DNA sequence: CTGTTAGCGCCTTCAG
DNA sequence: CTGAAGGCGCTAACAG
């Protein structure tokens, strides 16, 4: 009915109502309000109704920050740092994470580390300041990782997702990179290819190393030597990958097949191969790690090592909540490696 | 050096250190600690050093929740609800938003509304409880939107992103849907097409309506009647879009061109057209709203109405911070419509 | 330059 | 069944 009842002490923003305000409005004590809000037992129905009416009228929302101050209370927050949310892969990961967190009644605080360890450190510090109950980090992989050490986290559990960090002994969820790369490469070798190129991102990236390892392993097991001049790492985006492969295809003795270690490199490879095919070059066989939408419509024959980013996020959250809910009190750090699936997109044109 | 100095009252988690703890460790009063932490002026260098050492030793992090309790202080949080973060479009949007928020020293709390108005309402309520300073919402578009009304938000500014909500008069950032759809359709009509199909999502989606409006407008301006039997709405995913277009292409008098109103429908359309082409059908011209990676490698000739999701997120955040920082104190609600770019991927095969 | 007091919003503990 | 007191961690305002 009435307009703004001028509460003293307000500046610009009307200042959110407090239990006090609700109590006055309902003509009860703050405690009664609190009890009603906590789904209280033992409150006279009439009072309860009055309180609920007051809450609705004032658009009251319990101050969670104040609440989390009380001993024993939790913030309901999980801190998440991602290296680049614009990468659809990590977007899926976040979704898996958020879903599980929501199911456990938690909210996620998200920050982009942008592959920058300093930023990551800052994000983690900020999250700790906000008293997150746990952390999920896609590590940016700098050399200096003491901000991820359990000691620095004051007992707040951490789960690493997608990449491990050497020397940081915490729960970690990975894709089975080595196996995926090995099987993909083995497939190419079994098809008879003897000059197989490798396209990957910089080796400081954990997954880059593991996938190259799988590549080498497959060669060793097949008794085929790795052609070192065909191994190109350091392409962080599709454009440089395209450039790198284009150069390789112009060699006197070019590769007949390519294993690309990630999404970005696969996209660049497709472009390079499509361009080469347009000029009448011989076909080049491509096998890429990571899938992507429309992979099945690729203009060049393609197989992929597919895996489920959403599942990865969900599992990371799962490990975290096992810690938080005491299901796994102080078990040693666990390592989960998610399976991969080899998929063909050969287009029988 | 020493192990855990057993502080009384701890349960399981060691309980994060407080200013008190730091003060004791440094042999000063809590106030001095507080001053040092606030980049204090007027603290004797020696004390400052002692405090800093204690902070490092204890891995102390200021409790932001307690801090935000003090009058005048802000939470440093912005609440964000997105309808589906796994959609790369919204992932980009989040990135733009997060970037700008970080630049303003704010963190984002992200929730997935999953296109569910009830979930959205719950998220907003939770965010308000955490005393976010502002909200950015990609509205899920249910009928009942009073939880987005300024009155319900208690003065917390809200910016709508990507979609508007009828009756909710707040800052809004949109893509120029009508113009994009109109120009795309006009292009098709100018090329001589007279039977142009429309594929879109359900019309309760705000953008769906606007894009259909543009489609109709172009027809009206060209003096070409819309062929109602070729207008198909309600496809929420690529599979149903493919199915819908396949059916249209089997008509006695099939469309010669298709305008698809979004990403998902375009992907489905590509599949349907590619399949049709494989059976020797006549070529079908395709124009889609939204771009996507590898659009240029589409196996069927394609043009797209491109626009920048990241920019959209950044602009939404920009509007929000203008409110928060008082640059635009209480200006009336503003509407920003971001431009689109028409792009051809015709592949001169 | 440093310390003491008090209170932000909430809820556990204890009285009534 | 309801209310009063006290304290969670922090920092303005006011001594000293």
- Answer whether any strand C atom is within 7 A of the Cβ of B71: yes
Spans of all domains in chain A: 3-62, 77-175+309-339, 177-306
Pairing of strands A107-112, B107-112: antiparallel
Specify the range with the lowest mean pLDDT, choosing from A121-130, B256-265, B285-294. B285-294
pLDDT digits (tens, 9 = 90+) for A235-293: 988 899 999 999 999 999 999 999 999 888 999 999 999 888 888 888 899 999 998 87
- Does B233 have pLDDT greater than 90? yes
Q: Which nucleotide is nearest to B22 (CA to C1')?
A: D9
- Does B212 have pLDDT greater than 90? yes
pLDDT band at B237 (very low <50, low <70, confident <90, very high): confident
Q: Which nucleotides of C are covered by protein (CB under 7 A)?
A: 1-5, 7-13
| Residue of A58, A38, A35, A60 whose CA lies nearest to A47 | A35
pLDDT digits (tens, 9 = 90+) for B170-208: 999 999 999 999 999 999 999 999 999 999 988 667 888
- Does A62 have pLDDT greater than 70? yes
Q: Residue A216: CB partners within 8 Å, gap ≥ 6?
A: A226
- Answer whether any strand C atom is within 7 A of the Cβ of A333: no
- Both ends of chain B: CA-CA distance in Å? 72
Per the prediction, chain B carries an average pLDDT of 89
Give the separation between CA B163 and CA B174, rounded to whole angstroms. Answer: 6
Please say whether the beta carbons of B146 and B134 come within 8 A. no
Q: What percent of chain B has pLDDT over 70?
A: 93
- A 10 A CB-CB count for A158 gives 25
Give the separation between CA A8 and CA A330, rounded to whole angstroms. Answer: 50
B192-224 as b/e, with b when 16 or more CB fall inside 10 Å? ebebbbbbbbeeebbbbbbbbebbbbbbeeeeb
- Does B256 have pLDDT greater than 70? yes
Identify all chain B residues contacting A108, using CB atoms and an 8 Å cutoff: 109-111
pLDDT band at B63 (very low <50, low <70, confident <90, very high): very high
Q: Which nucleotides of D are covered by protein (CB under 7 A)?
A: 1-5, 7-13
Q: Residue A182: CB partners within 8 Å, gap ≥ 6?
A: A214, A215, A217, A218, A221
Please say whether the beta carbons of A98 and B110 come within 8 A. yes
Top-confidence residue, A203 or B224: B224
Pairing of strands A77-82, B158-161: unpaired
Q: Which of A59, A84, A124, A136 should we substitute to test contact with B (largest number of B Cβ atoms within 10 Å)? A: A59
Burial of A216 (0-12, 13-18, 19+ CB in 10 A): middle
Is domain B77-175+309-339 given the CATH code 3.40.50.2300 in the classification? Answer: yes
Q: Residue B56: CB partners within 8 Å, gap ≥ 6?
A: none
In the numeric block, the tokens 């124009």 are attached to B287
Size of interface A-B (CB pairs under 8 A): 160
pLDDT band at A144 (very low <50, low <70, confident <90, very high): confident
**Per-residue pLDDT, B345:** 75
Query: How many residues are there in chain B?
Result: 349
- Answer whether any strand C atom is within 7 A of the Cβ of A31: yes
Give the separation between CA A121 and CA B59, rounded to whole angstroms. Answer: 13
A342 CA to D13 C1' in angstroms comes to 68
**Residue contact B267–A66, C-beta within 8 A:** no
Q: Which amino acid residue lies closest to nucleotide D10, measuring CA to C1'? A: B67
**Per-residue pLDDT, A1:** 31
Identify all chain A residues contacting B92, using CB atoms and an 8 Å cutoff: 86
Identify all chain A residues contacting B271, using CB atoms and an 8 Å cutoff: 297
- Does A121 have pLDDT greater than 60? yes
Give the separation between CA A191 and CA A185, rounded to whole angstroms. Answer: 10
Q: Residue A233 has which token pair?
A: 């790492």
Instruction: Output the furthest CA–CA distance in chain B (Å, rounded).
Output: 89
Identify all chain A residues contacting B16, using CB atoms and an 8 Å cutoff: 128, 131, 154
| Phi, psi for B142 (deg, rounded to 5) | -70, 175
Top-confidence residue, A2 or A215: A215
Average pLDDT over residues A138-158: 90
Candidates 3.40.50.2300, 3.30.360.10, 3.40.50.261, 3.30.750.210; CATH matching B177-306: 3.40.50.2300
Give the separation between CA B7 and CA B14, rounded to whole angstroms. Answer: 8
This prediction has a pTM of 0.88
Give the separation between CA B128 and CA B157, rounded to whole angstroms. Answer: 11
Q: Which residues are paired to A158 by β-bridges?
A: A135
A67: closest chain B residue by CA: B65
A61-99 as b/e, with b when 16 or more CB fall inside 10 Å? bbbbbbbbeeeeeebbbbbbbbbbbbbbbbbbbbbbbbb
**Per-residue pLDDT, A9:** 33
Superfamily for domain range B3-62: lambda repressor-like DNA-binding domains (1.10.260.40)
Helix (H) or strand (E) holding B243: helix B238-249
How far are the Cα atoms of A19, A30, A120, A199 from residue A74, in angstroms, in the given order? 20, 22, 23, 46
pLDDT digits (tens, 9 = 90+) for A184-223: 999 999 999 999 999 998 866 788 889 999 999 999 999 9
**Per-residue pLDDT, B79:** 97
Strand ranges of the sheet holding A231-233, from the earlier edge strand across to the other edge: A231-233, A196-200, A257-260, A285-289, A302-306, A341-345
**Per-residue pLDDT, B278:** 84
**Per-residue pLDDT, B314:** 98
Average pLDDT over residues A319-344: 88
Please say whether the beta carbons of B215 and B259 come within 8 A. yes
Give the separation between CA B128 and CA B130, rounded to whole angstroms. Answer: 5
Q: Residue B122: CB partners within 8 Å, gap ≥ 6?
A: none
Give the separation between CA A162 and CA A159, rounded to whole angstroms. Answer: 10
Q: What percent of chain A has pLDDT over 90?
A: 63
Please say whether the beta carbons of B83 and B110 come within 8 A. no
- Does A116 have pLDDT greater than 80? yes
pLDDT band at A43 (very low <50, low <70, confident <90, very high): confident
- Does A156 have pLDDT greater than 50? yes
Top-confidence residue, B10 or A118: A118
Please say whether the beta carbons of B100 and B134 come within 8 A. no
B75: closest chain A residue by CA: A65
pLDDT band at A141 (very low <50, low <70, confident <90, very high): confident
A56 CA to C14 C1' in angstroms comes to 31
**Per-residue pLDDT, A168:** 93
In the numeric block, the tokens 């746990």 are attached to A134
Domain B177-306 in the same topology as domain B77-175+309-339: yes
pLDDT band at B86 (very low <50, low <70, confident <90, very high): confident
Specify the range with the lowest mean pLDDT, choosing from A37-51, A204-218, B85-99. A37-51
Identify all chain A residues contacting B107, using CB atoms and an 8 Å cutoff: 109, 111, 126, 130
Average pLDDT over residues B135-145: 89
**Residue contact B14–A155, C-beta within 8 A:** yes
B103 CA to D15 C1' in angstroms comes to 39
**Highest mean pLDDT: which range of A47-56, A192-201, A340-349:** A192-201
Among B59, B109, B274, select the one facing A154 at the smallest CB separation. Answer: B59
B274: closest chain A residue by CA: A297
Per the prediction, chain A carries an average pLDDT of 89
- Does A80 have pLDDT greater than 90? yes
Dihedral of the CA atoms B88, B90, B91, B92 (nearest 10)? Answer: 90
Specify the range with the lowest mean pLDDT, choosing from A16-30, A278-292, A323-337. A323-337
Give the separation between CA A134 and CA A108, rounded to whole angstroms. Answer: 10
pLDDT digits (tens, 9 = 90+) for B16-51: 899 999 999 999 989 999 999 888 678 888 888 899
**Per-residue pLDDT, B42:** 80
A64 CA to D7 C1' in angstroms comes to 17
| Residue of A104, B197, A85, A105 whose CA lies nearest to A95 | A85
């Amino acid at each position: 009915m009435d307009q703004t009842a001028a509460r003293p002490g307000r500046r610009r923003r009307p200042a959110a109502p407090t239990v006090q305000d609700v109590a006055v409005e309902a003509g009860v004590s703050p405690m009664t309000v609190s009890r009603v809000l906590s789904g209280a037992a033992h409150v006279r129905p009439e009072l309860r109704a009055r309180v609920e009416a007051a809450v609705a009228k004032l658009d009251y929302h319990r101050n969670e920050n104040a609440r989390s101050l009380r001993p024993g209370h939790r913030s309901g927050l999980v801190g998440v740092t991602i290296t680049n949310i614009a990468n659809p892969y990590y977007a899926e990961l976040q979704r898996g994470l958020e879903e599980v967190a929501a199911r456990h009644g938690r909210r996620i605080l998200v920050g982009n580390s942008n592959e920058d360890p300093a930023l990551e450190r800052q994000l983690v510090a900020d999250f700790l300041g906000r008293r997150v109950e746990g952390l999920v980090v896609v590590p940016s992989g700098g050399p200096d990782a003491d901000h991820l050490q359990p000691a620095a986290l004051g007992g707040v559990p951490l789960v690493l997702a997608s990449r491990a960090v050497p020397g940081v002994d915490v729960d970690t969820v990975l894709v089975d990179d080595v196996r995926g790369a090995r099987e993909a490469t083995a497939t190419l070798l079994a098809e008879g290819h003897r000059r197989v190129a490798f396209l990957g991102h910089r080796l400081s990236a954990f997954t880059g190393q593991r996938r190259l390892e799988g590549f080498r392993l497959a060669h060793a097991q097949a008794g085929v030597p790795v052609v070192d001049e065909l191994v190109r790492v350091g392409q962080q985006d599709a454009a440089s990958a395209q450039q790198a492969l284009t150069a390789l295809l112009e060699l006197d003795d070019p590769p007949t097949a390519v294993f690309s270690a990630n999404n970005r490199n696969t996209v660049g490879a497709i472009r390079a191969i499509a361009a080469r095919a347009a000029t009448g070059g011989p076909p080049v066989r491509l096998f890429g790690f990571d899938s992507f939408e429309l992979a099945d419509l690729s203009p060049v024959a393609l197989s992929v090592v597919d895996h489920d980013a959403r599942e990865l996020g969900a599992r990371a959250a799962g490990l975290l909540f096992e810690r938080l809910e005491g299901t796994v009190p102080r078990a040693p750090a666990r390592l989960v490696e998610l399976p991969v699936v080899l998929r063909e997109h050969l287009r029988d044109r």
